[in-house]
C-alpha cells in the first residue's frame, strides 16, 4: 500500500461528517443514548408505573404529560442515532442520512412548566434532565455533521469549476 493511498486525492475532500459518525465520540454517544432509552423504558414500565398510581391528580397529569414528552424525545434521538449508525456501518451514505433525517424531529426547544416538573418523582426528573442533555449533544453533532456536509456540497457545476481552473492557469477572461 503506497503512502498516497492512505490519503484522499485533492479531488476527494475528506468528509468530516462521515469521520465524525465513525468516531469513538459517536460510539460513546450511541451507547449512552440507547442505554438511556432502555433505562427509561424499564423505569416507566416498572417502578414509574407504580409511582404514578400514588400521585395526586395534578402530579399524575404532569407525570403523564412529561413521560410522553420524554418518550417522544428519546424515540426521536434513538432514530437519529440509528440513522447515523447506519452511516457508520456503511449501510447508507451521509447524503442519504441527511435526506432521511428530515423525518426525525430534533426540536430546538422543549418547553416545560417548571411547576409540573417539581411534582414528578425524582427518578423521572433525572431521566428528563439526562434526555435533555443527550438531546443537546445530538443537536450539536447533527449541526456539525450536516452543516459541514452542506458546505462541502458543490455549489457550482463541475464543468464551471474546471473552466475556472483553466482561466486561472492561462490568465484569460473567457475560455
CATH (domain of 105): 1.10.8.930
* Residues 131, 175: Cα–Cα separation, whole Å: 57
Tally of domains in the chain? 1
| pLDDT tens sequence across 91-128 | 988 888 888 877 888 877 667 777 889 999 999 999 99
Tell me, yes or no, whether 1 lies in a domain.
Answer: no
Q: Supply the pTM of this predicted model.
A: 0.72
Q: How open is the CA angle 65-67-71, to the nearest 5 degrees?
A: 120
Collapsing DSSP states into helix, strand and coil, what is residue 23? coil
| pLDDT tens sequence across 38-50 | 999 999 999 999 9
Domain that holds residue 83: 14-170
* Residues 106, 149: Cα–Cα separation, whole Å: 18
Tell me, yes or no, whether 2 lies in a domain.
Answer: no
* Residues 165, 89: Cα–Cα separation, whole Å: 36
Tell me, yes or no, whether 3 lies in a domain.
Answer: no
* Residues 141, 124: Cα–Cα separation, whole Å: 26
Amino acid at each position: 500500500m503506497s503512502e498516497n493511498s492512505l490519503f484522499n486525492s485533492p479531488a476527494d475532500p475528506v468528509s468530516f461528517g462521515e469521520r465524525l459518525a465513525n468516531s469513538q465520540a459517536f460510539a460513546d454517544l450511541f451507547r449512552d443514548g440507547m442505554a438511556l432509552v432502555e433505562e427509561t423504558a424499564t423505569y416507566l414500565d416498572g417502578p414509574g408505573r407504580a409511582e404514578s398510581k400514588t400521585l395526586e391528580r395534578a402530579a399524575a397529569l404532569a407525570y403523564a404529560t412529561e413521560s410522553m414528552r420524554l418518550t417522544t424525545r428519546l424515540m426521536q434521538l434513538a432514530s437519529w442515532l440509528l440513522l447515523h449508525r447506519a452511516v457508520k456501518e456503511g449501510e447508507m451514505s451521509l447524503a442519504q442520512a441527511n435526506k432521511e433525517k428530515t423525518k426525525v424531529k430534533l426540536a430546538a426547544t422543549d418547553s416545560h412548566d417548571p411547576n409540573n416538573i417539581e411534582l414528578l418523582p425524582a427518578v423521572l426528573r433525572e431521566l428528563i434532565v439526562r434526555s435533555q442533555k443527550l438531546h443537546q449533544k445530538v443537536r450539536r453533532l447533527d449541526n456539525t455533521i450536516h452543516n459541514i456536509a452542506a458546505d462541502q456540497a458543490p455549489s457550482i457545476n463541475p464543468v464551471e469549476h474546471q473552466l475556472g481552473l483553466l482561466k486561472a492557469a492561462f490568465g484569460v477572461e473567457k475560455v
